[in-house]
């Protein structure tokens, strides 16, 4: 369920546009650069993306505009799906094709077969610990790790729990393997590729290509290129935006009456008794008024009390 008002109708002031733009980011630019271009082309005051793609990676980059920035964390923590290609028997200091590449095996190598690869891939399924690479945007004492790496400094990194939900083999071309991986947020595909290369007995591997195809329920097939956005007249660009509440489709819905709407919009709680099934404390829910206008995100602070968690300025009838 989404607000019945179309995104285009919400754009009463173009600099205050709100919604989610799904960008098909090209190879060769940073996520922040892509964000700034989209922000300019959509004349948005506020914008933020929901998870960095490296300059050498391409694919789905959801960009939150206006009121949608309040809910960007819903996608920051969402599962991601990638198509990754990597070359066995070599490693890169950055983990991908942009770094210094050197061989790690000597003598003749034989490419792995389908059975060998699928057997190894199955061992990576489920939960595991992963140490983030030095060439990453994680910060230590306020400084990104990749800056330390460029200075030749290696710092200790704590391992983090990740989950590989799905991992399948797409193609084998000599020593280049292409896989599809669905994983939890925070998984480094470069590190996964290196680990798979070692597990196959080739000493490691480095990424040759990476495409993100899904973020949560959003799919690359829904995304728009920068060229397509720029070639569209300004007044028509807003049709590419998804509603703010599309970020929160995994949360249940609660319809507020007029009194409850005013209470919540003024930061006050509302009481709802005898709700079945009994709601889980701290669980979230999408809030709408009786006209199906999206109000924001609420939270059950106990089994009878809904508190406003994050509200927006409604554009429809109250």
pLDDT band at 20 (very low <50, low <70, confident <90, very high): very high
Q: What is the pTM of this model?
A: 0.89
Residue 310 has which token pair? 């994050």
Asked whether the bond before 240 is cis by omega within 30 degrees of 0, the reply is: no
C-alpha to C-alpha distance for 78 and 80, rounded to whole angstroms: 6
The pLDDT score that the predictor gives to residue 316 is: 56
Query: CB of 88 within 8 A of CB of 200?
Result: yes
Residue (of 165, 162, 145) closest to 153 by Cα position: 145
Sequence-ordered list of residues with C-beta below 8 angstroms from that of 140, at least 6 positions apart, any chain:
148, 155
At 234-282, the pLDDT tens digits run 989 999 999 999 999 999 999 999 999 999 999 999 999 888 889 999 9
To which residue do tokens 């009121």 refer?
67
Q: Which domains does the chain have, with CATH numbers?
A: 7-77+217-244 (3.30.2350.10), 80-214 (3.30.2350.10), 251-311 (2.30.130.10)
Beta bridge partners of 80: 183, 215
What are the pLDDT digits (tens) for 99-154? 899 999 777 889 999 999 999 999 999 999 998 888 777 788 788 887 887 888 88
Please, which residues have CB within 8 angstroms of residue 170's CB and are 6 or more apart in sequence? 83, 178, 179, 180
From the CA atom positions of the chain, what is the Rg in Å? 23
- pLDDT tens, 164-220? 999 999 999 999 999 999 999 999 999 999 999 999 999 999 999 999 999 999 999
Residue range 37-57: mean pLDDT, rounded? 92
For the segment 2-22, the average pLDDT, to the nearest whole number, is: 59
pLDDT band of residue 318 (cuts 50, 70, 90) is low
**What distance in Å separates the CA atoms of residue 258 and residue 214, rounded to the nearest whole number?**
38
Catalytic positions, written as ranges: 54
Rounded Cα gap, residues 78 and 165, in angstroms:
12
**pLDDT exceeds cutoff 50 at 6:** no
């Amino acid at each position: 369920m989404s607000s019945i008002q179309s995104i285009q109708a919400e754009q009463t002031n173009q600099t205050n546009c709100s919604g989610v733009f799904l960008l098909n980011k090209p190879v060769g630019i940073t996520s922040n650069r892509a964000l700034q271009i989209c922000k300019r082309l959509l004349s948005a005051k506020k914008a933020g993306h929901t998870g960095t793609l490296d300059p050498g990676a391409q694919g789905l980059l959801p960009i939150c505009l206006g009121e949608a920035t309040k809910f960007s964390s819903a996608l920051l923590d969402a599962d991601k799906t990638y198509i990754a290609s990597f070359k066995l028997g070599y490693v890169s200091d950055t983990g991908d094709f942009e770094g210094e590449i050197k061989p790690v095996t000597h003598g003749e190598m034989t490419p792995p077969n389908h059975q060998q690869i699928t057997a190894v891939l199955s061992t990576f399924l489920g939960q595991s610990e992963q140490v983030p690479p030095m060439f990453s945007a994680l910060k230590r004492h306020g400084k990104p790790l990749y800056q330390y790496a460029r200075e030749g400094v290696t710092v200790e990194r704590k391992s983090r729990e990740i989950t590989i939900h799905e991992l399948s083999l797409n193609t084998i071309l000599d020593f280049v393997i292409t896989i599809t991986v669905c994983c939890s947020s925070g998984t480094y595909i470069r590190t996964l590729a290196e680990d798979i290369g070692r597990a196959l007995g080739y000493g490691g591997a480095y990424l040759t290509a990476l495409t993100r195809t899904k973020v949560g329920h959003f799919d690359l097939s829904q995304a728009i290129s920068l060229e397509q956005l720029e070639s569209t007249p300004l007044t028509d660009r807003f049709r590419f935006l998804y509603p703010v509440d599309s970020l929160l489709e995994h949360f249940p819905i609660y319809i507020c009456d007029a009194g409850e709407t005013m209470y919540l919009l003024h930061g006050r709680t509302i009481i709802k008794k005898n709700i079945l099934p009994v709601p889980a404390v701290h669980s979230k829910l999408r809030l709408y008024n009786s006209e199906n206008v999206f109000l924001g995100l609420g939270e059950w602070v106990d089994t009878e009390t809904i508190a406003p968690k994050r509200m927006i300025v409604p554009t429809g009838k109250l």
